[in-house]
Structure 1
Amino acid sequence: MRILVTGGAGFIGSHLIDRLMEDGHEVICIDNFYTGHKRNILKWLDHPYFELIRHDITEPIRLEADQIYHLACPASPVHYQYNPVKTIKTNVLGTLNMLGLAKRVKARFLLASTSEIYGDPEVHPQSEDYRGNVNPIGPRSCYDEGKRVAETLAFDYHRQNDVEIRVARIFNTYGSRMFEQDGRVVSNFVVQTLQGKPLTVYGDGSQTRSFCYVSDLVEGLMRLMNGEHTGPINLGNPDEYTILELAQAVQKMVNPDAEIIFKPLPQDDPKRRRPDITKAKSLLGWQPTVPLQEGLKMTVEDFRARVASPQGQHLASVSE
């Protein structure tokens, strides 16, 4: 098949492209390189079945595809809050453009939505029928509400125009190729420890998250795309850890002498986050297989090859 991946040079998108290329598909990658990086897809650039287009999806584009994986959007607070208007435009105008393309060429469309649509949840764990507790005017709303609107658009195109859609609600994902300065908790802890800095825990560290390794997530996305269920379907790891437990796990793995310091909790930061993956298990036959310790080990090894040393010297192969 000819498959379009928006945001394909990003963390999750590039791992998805690896799988699609290895399966023999023709892949078109669209990315504006706001948070993506060409090094993530370097090995495919000369492949006859791979095409890279530098393009911002807030502008229309015309091409042919059988499937569209719509992943393009800054997904970490540091990046989506840096230019919140751009973030909401990517979620709304970008999704409109991609759904319009899916309608024209009759492609199946998968939206990479997010657990952030549940906000700071009052229901735990979060199942797909929970409608969320989101602050519509807070600093995170450009992303939270943007993805909620993207889901609305997808279902409206499905109902009104018979576009085949799939909606994945992605929970915390980590692994190789995470951006060093993305502000996500796993990358923060790993980078801080490798650089000999204290690990920064916000609040008292009792807030919880669930961490899914990227290869597991990609498998879930592909099963959703190629299955018969529209969704939304939660994709994430149901094992729940406190932020302090994660900090201690990274500390033990990288530098047992590293200090852990505490800072105030950011506004609207969710206190608890864990997916109910009953639907993913029953409808897709999917559940995560990579344990946190194993995933962290692979993630640390990847960061160790890329991140500045405590003296601030980058490895020669790294260019940010």
Structure 2
Amino acid sequence: MADQSGGFTNHTNNNRTSSSDDYVIRPVPQRDHVDNVGDTSVGSDVSLRWLHQLYLPKKTPEVVMLKDGMVQYTSQRLYPNVRHLSPAKRERILVTGGAGFVGSHLVDRLMWMGHEVIVVDNFFTGTKRNVQHWIGHPNFELVTHDVVDPYMIEVSQIYHLACPASPPHYQYNPTKTVKTSVMGTINMLGLAKRTKARFLLTSTSEIYGDPEEHPQKETYWGHVNPIGPRACYDEGKRIAETLTYSYMRQNDVDVRVARIFNTFGPRMSPTDGRVVSNFIMQALRGQPLTIYGDGHQTRSFQYVHDLVDGLILLMNKNYTEPVNLGNTEEYTILDFAHTIRDQVLATTTTAAGPMTDVEIKLLPAAMDDPRKRKPDITRAKKYLGWEPRFAVKQGIQETVDWFKLQQMEGAI
């Protein structure tokens, strides 16, 4: 899930630029426009319009920038509509890392479904802003807590997302990253054991390392550098999976494991170092789009709503083996840079008029950055009935719109 805009070990491309004169853009596969997400079999189906009110609201923003440099926070009178569930059907669900990028979208969906949701977050990469529309709701609770320390509560499901997932964040304090993956997972598995809750670990495609198999199946054991700069995350998630299945075999804990591939969407941090957020922020500012490596390394990008669909299906289906959740449409980083740049340029106007061009700059490759990344999702299709539905173009446009809204509100 975490990737820089890098790849290859070839460093001969330092500070070069790319243009349409020396690069041919390959056509982006098209999918139908998505208006509804989720799956009726687990009650996660919801209109995209309902979700838009949470991150692309047309109403007056809750944060207003005043002319004298002050900021005004307005109180919310009504909460978003949610389904009514009887107490017998309502789950009490814990989401660790629930104020983060992916976690907050998962919380939105679980709240819509009518469940009681408890979010635990230490706010290292998450933010209250991502879940502020639920604070005070009778079905919602936000707890400031680090999963490295034990946490006691009664729940029936645990979505364990807590862990920094982008290179700048997880490499900032690698020891802490390892402790979060190991001690945090032990604590949450211990909670699942005590409460007999179903436990879902969000693992990552990074456990495959720089893969020698393409596309990557769940049966592939990976090709990981155990002492490299990315090892704190890669190996941390690998041991988290080991712990998860150890608790299943030894303590009969009901477990699920999702291996998440590159994901993007609204609420990404503008400083998280991921491909999409980097490119969008640079394009909006008229800065060169920076690619680490020669740009021919590949990634598969999925929109966050597709991922949330997959996580909820996995939690509620009877399948315990690891499952890849990702988009099978593969792009080179250069392809993706051109796609994002063109979409931002086509929809952005500055005080001086429409933006005309933004260059693409090639920088030295990042160490241990995978050359190829693409999931085999045969298991997800067979056992979950899941596959991505969002076209990359639709997802990028929603993400760009969100970043623009944050700029208007002075949040970034």
Q: Same fold (TM over 0.5)?
A: yes
CA distance in structure 2 between the aligned counterparts of 1:80 and 1:95, rounded to whole angstroms: 16
Q: Structure 1, residues 220-269: CA drift from partner, whole Å, max 9, x if none?
A: 00000000001200000000000000000011111250010000110000
CA distance in structure 2 between the aligned counterparts of 1:193 and 1:141, rounded to whole angstroms: 31
In the other structure, the counterpart of 1:171 is 261
From 373, 376, 388, the equivalent of 1:273 is 373
In the other structure, the counterpart of 2:198 is 108
In the other structure, the counterpart of 1:80 is 170
Q: Structure 1, residues 269-292: CA drift from partner, whole Å, max 9, x if none?
A: 000000000000011000000011
1:246 maps to 2:346: no
CA distance in structure 2 between the aligned counterparts of 1:306 and 1:91, rounded to whole angstroms: 31
Counterpart of 1:113 in structure 2: which amino acid?
Answer: S
From 128, 150, 172, the equivalent of 1:60 is 150
In the other structure, the counterpart of 1:285 is 385
Counterpart of 2:395 in structure 1: which amino acid?
Answer: G
Deviation above 2 Å: which 4+ runs of structure 1?
none
Give aligned pairs, total: 312
- Comparing both chains, which one has the higher relative contact order based on Cα–Cα distances under 8 Å and sequence gaps of 6 or more? 2
1:300 maps to 2:390: no
CA distance in structure 1 between the aligned counterparts of 2:342 and 2:139, rounded to whole angstroms: 43
Q: CA deviation at 1:50?
A: 0.3
Instruction: Provide the secondary structure at the position in 2 that maps to 1:46.
Output: coil
Q: Structure 1, residues 111-145: CA drift from partner, whole Å, max 9, x if none?
A: 00000000000000000000000000000000000
Q: CA deviation at 1:317?
A: 4.6
CA distance in structure 1 between the aligned counterparts of 2:342 and 2:285, rounded to whole angstroms: 15
From 339, 356, 359, the equivalent of 1:259 is 359
Instruction: Provide the secondary structure at the position in 2 that maps to 1:166.
Output: strand
CA distance in structure 1 between the aligned counterparts of 2:180 and 2:161, rounded to whole angstroms: 10
CA distance in structure 1 between the aligned counterparts of 2:306 and 2:281, rounded to whole angstroms: 23
Counterpart of 1:134 in structure 2: which amino acid?
Answer: V
In the other structure, the counterpart of 1:312 is none
In the other structure, the counterpart of 1:145 is 235
How does the TM-score come out when normalised to structure 1? 0.96
Instruction: Provide the secondary structure at the position in 1 that maps to 2:133.
Output: helix
In the other structure, the counterpart of 2:321 is 231
1:42 maps to 2:142: no
In the other structure, the counterpart of 1:310 is none
In the other structure, the counterpart of 2:210 is 120
| RMSD, aligned α-carbons | 0.8
In the other structure, the counterpart of 2:352 is none
In the other structure, the counterpart of 2:219 is 129
Counterpart of 1:104 in structure 2: which amino acid?
Answer: R
Instruction: Provide the secondary structure at the position in 2 that maps to 1:43.
Output: coil
CA distance in structure 2 between the aligned counterparts of 1:62 and 1:46, rounded to whole angstroms: 21
Q: CA deviation at 1:305?
A: 1.4
Gaps of 5+ in 1: 308-314
How does the TM-score come out when normalised to structure 2? 0.75
CA distance in structure 2 between the aligned counterparts of 1:188 and 1:234, rounded to whole angstroms: 25
CA distance in structure 2 between the aligned counterparts of 1:284 and 1:275, rounded to whole angstroms: 15
Structure 1 or 2: more helix by fraction: 1
In the other structure, the counterpart of 2:79 is none
Select the structure of larger CA radius of gyration: 2
Gaps of 5+ in 2: 1-90, 346-355
CA distance in structure 2 between the aligned counterparts of 1:305 and 1:181, rounded to whole angstroms: 16
CA distance in structure 2 between the aligned counterparts of 1:277 and 1:61, rounded to whole angstroms: 34
